[in-house]
Structure 1
Amino acid sequence: RPSAVAMGTVRCVPGAAMAELRALRLRRGPGALRALRGLSLRDNGLCRLPAELASLRGLTELNLGNNIFEEVPEQLKYLSSLQKLHLFGNKITTISPAIFDGLEKLTLLNLNNNRLKYLPPEIHRLENLEYMSLNNNQIGSIPKELCSLEKLSELHLSYNCLIMVPEEIGYMTNLRMLCLSRNQIEVLPDGLCKLRKLRILDVAGNRIRVFFLCRVIRLNEMAARFILRELNEKNSVLQTAVKQNPEVGNLLSEKRVCAVCGQAFLTTRLECVCFMHKMKISRNIHLLPVRKLICSFQCFNFGDHGFFGVAES
């Protein structure tokens, strides 16, 4: 509809998408669509885009959902102002790494219901991405490069073929929602413990037999560690809540401190010893074992701390 150009948005009815674009350019001249900010071409039979689309440098939102694309259209790399891109419900199997070069401003990417089996490492170039949804694909692994997207707050990867989550997930410090339901994940990485802003973790329908976070951590231990961290940062709301619940305060007073990272925890995770040198107790004893507590295997395996695990015979 030509009149829609004046409002900055064009929505095309099924079957008329490319014809509409070309007709507008013929009637209004080459610059007819350059002021366009939003374009919806969803629910058509599109398998490719007209070359004219590359000239829409002011476009901020593009909806190509429910078409029949088999790959992400190459013209998109020229849309340097694009912030929201919807490609759900297509037949996309691959993403060309070159696409990411021109989408530096992208904040939302929706690729639900496609046929993707992997993500190219170059996805880290989408450094302003805040929301990413890849539900209902065939993705078998998360590239560690994806974990460098520090602005990402929501990541949806439900109904895929994931068998693991990379340890580097801990770098996504702004992540608030992580949905990994209906995959084949058996163990969760310790890196999840670093996601202090995480509010929703959905791992339903996987193969997880025990909830692995810093070894085996129960939900009450997870809650205790979160509360202890927040109290350490003077969270006034939690400080008041703890004062109003003496039983909780008494429980938290039994906290321990990890000898490696210095973080507080409630129950003992790993019991270790270190040997104090230059302490001569008798003629035959030169080293004294000192008990130390460590909160996770991640800390135990970090660096050369000189602690030795204690095993029962």
Structure 2
Amino acid sequence: MADTLLVPALKSKPKALNLSNKKLDKVPKAIGKLDCVIHLQLKNNKLKTLPFELSYLFQLQILNCGNNDFEEMPEVLEHLTMLEKLHLFNNKLKILSPKVLTNLRSLTFLNLNTNSLKTVPPEICRLVNLQFLSIDNNVLTDLPVELCALSRLEEFHAANNQLTNLPLEFGFLINLEKLHLQKNRIRELPESIGKCYKMRTLDIAANDLRIFPTELHSMPLKELFCEENPLLQHIPVHSVQEEEVLSLKEICARYVMKELKDRWSYLRRAIKHYPQIREMLAQASRCSVCGESFLNTWLECVRFVDAKSDLRLNNLNGLVPVRALLCSYKCFNSKGHDYYGVAFP
């Protein structure tokens, strides 16, 4: 019965073949004779596997296997090296095959929405040309740091999962324009996200976010969705804090970082021989008041910026809490700044 579906196609040699909504539980092996096909639709069937003969479709660029019964990525996909768009939404996927991901180097679009994925394998970084990735409606609790190697990624969807954070290296996604993370459990966005200098849409609604990263203003956002988060409120309470004693490590680090600003400093030349110290100092922060560098987070503060006038957002009104780091209580107690200490209930 299924083989008869391909009779007209075997005669006409089409570039596009639609076998959707056919109640198929298997794809006819004769599909391998249609090496002319570029676009293949197999959605809305009952498929659990794909035949090896599919590998003969060496010109295939678009494959839609959405709304079927796949529990794992069909191994035959690893042979479709010309594939650019792959739909596997609304299946029963529990794992992603590292072997398949490693070979799909031409892929630019991947839709894995509405499956049962608990993890994303590190091999996701092999999709070097990926521009669109959607993994909405799964059960992910975290994302691999290797995801941040997808430097061509422009749009990323991971809504309605169980994510509590993002990789610290998220800022390496330098071409990311749209990020949708609504309905997760994210408590904090990494500071590096401020390096996503092309991001125009950020949807972080319905999470556990209290404050935004310091470099929020560095992103050219046009839309920010942050409703249903326990964001810090602008309720000032008077407080004067006494200066605390710095650790010896902190004192030395601050001295070294100050010296490094002097191009003639001996330390500037000597530190080249101490890679571990350079790596440690690379994690330093800059005080929002005095501008000096410091090693450890001394005092986390918040500044409330206007969504319209300061961030130039098109869709949001009111004040947005943005993190600020201060190097000392001396700076915190100084006059003329609009930073507030964070008070936790």
| Aligned counterpart in structure 2 of residue 294 of structure 1, from 287, 291, 303 | 287
Rounded to whole Å, the distance in 2 between the matches of 1:293 and 1:110 is 40
Letter in 2 for 1:83: E
Rounded to whole Å, the distance in 2 between the matches of 1:173 and 1:226 is 11
Contact map agreement 2:26 2:48 (CA 8 A) in 1: no
Give yes or no for the alignment of 1:311 onto 2:324.
Answer: no
Change (3 A) 1:301 1:143: farther
Rounded to whole Å, the distance in 1 between the matches of 2:126 and 2:82 is 15
Give yes or no for the alignment of 1:18 onto 2:35.
Answer: no
Letter in 1 for 2:287: I
Q: CA RMSD in A?
A: 2.8
TM-score between both structures, scaled by the size of structure 2: 0.62
Rounded to whole Å, the distance in 2 between the matches of 1:226 and 1:81 is 34
In structure 2, the residue matched to 1:42 is: 43
Contact map agreement 2:155 2:177 (CA 8 A) in 1: yes
In structure 2, the residue matched to 1:6 is: 13
- Per the TM alignment, residue 50 of structure 1 is displaced from its structure 2 partner at its CA by 1.4
Rounded to whole Å, the distance in 2 between the matches of 1:3 and 1:172 is 45
Letter in 2 for 1:311: Y
- Per the TM alignment, residue 112 of structure 1 is displaced from its structure 2 partner at its CA by 0.2
Rounded to whole Å, the distance in 2 between the matches of 1:300 and 1:172 is 27
In structure 1, the residue matched to 2:123 is: 122
Contact map agreement 1:181 1:204 (CA 8 A) in 2: yes
Change (3 A) 1:309 1:125: same
Change (3 A) 1:301 1:158: farther
Change (3 A) 1:8 1:205: same
In structure 2, the residue matched to 1:66 is: 67
Contact map agreement 1:273 1:309 (CA 8 A) in 2: no
Identity %: 37
Count of residues in correspondence between the two structures = 234
Q: What secondary structure, in the 3-state scheme, does the structure 2 residue paired with 1:142 have?
A: coil
Rounded to whole Å, the distance in 2 between the matches of 1:70 and 1:300 is 50
Gaps (5+ residues) in structure 1? 228-271, 278-291, 303-307
* Deviates further, 7-16 or 73-82: 7-16
- Per the TM alignment, residue 309 of structure 1 is displaced from its structure 2 partner at its CA by 2.6
Change (3 A) 1:273 1:43: same
In structure 2, the residue matched to 1:241 is: none
> Per-residue CA shift, 1:39-89, capped at 9, x if unaligned?
111000001111211211110000000001000111000001100000000
Q: What secondary structure, in the 3-state scheme, does the structure 2 residue paired with 1:18 have?
A: coil
Gaps (5+ residues) in structure 2? 221-252, 260-284, 297-325, 334-345
Change (3 A) 1:273 1:134: same
